[in-house]
Amino acid sequence: MTQQAMTACAEKVAKTALRRQHSHRVAFSLLSSFRYAWNGVAYAFQTQRNFRIHTAVGLSAIALSGLLKLPPVEVAVIFLTIAVVMGLELLNTALEAVVDLTVGKEYHDLARIAKDCAAGAVLLSAIAAVGVAMTLIVPPLVYPMVGMLL
């Protein structure tokens, strides 16, 4: 390892240690609580491909709801469904980070089970979200086309 690489590594370790010094602190204000929460959402968006996919699909569903002029209750159901999927994706990301922190680079069956179950929760919520979309968004899209054919 070159001197430059060793220096860069040492600086990275020092920065990480400095951040961890304050990791036990609680949020002293509501604003800082919201900032920490937003940091989690931003981290997931920046690092998790599936979170970005869920965001794009969710925004598309909201846009279609507006274009189709769905009733407010149906739009609320779509919003809640999106929130559940994205919330579970955030929990999945957090659980994966904790498992990785605990077991490191080693393989452990319990770590695999924890990660697989968390991913399964996201999968089931995404399947439910597709069911909601099929029920609320697809009919107003398809019925006008069927009416033109008849």
Catalytic residues, by residue number, are 89
Q: Are the CB atoms for 108 and 79 separated by under 8 Å?
A: no
Q: What whole-number distance in Å separates Cα of residue 77 and Cα of residue 32? A: 30
DSSP 36-94: HHHHHHHHHHHH-HHHHHHHHHHHHHHHHHHHTT--HHHHHHHHHHHHHHHHHHHHHHH
Q: What whole-number distance in Å separates Cα of residue 104 and Cα of residue 118? A: 18
DSSP code of residue 137: T
Residue 26 backbone phi and psi in degrees, to 5: -95, 160
CA atoms within 13 A on the CB side of 135: 11
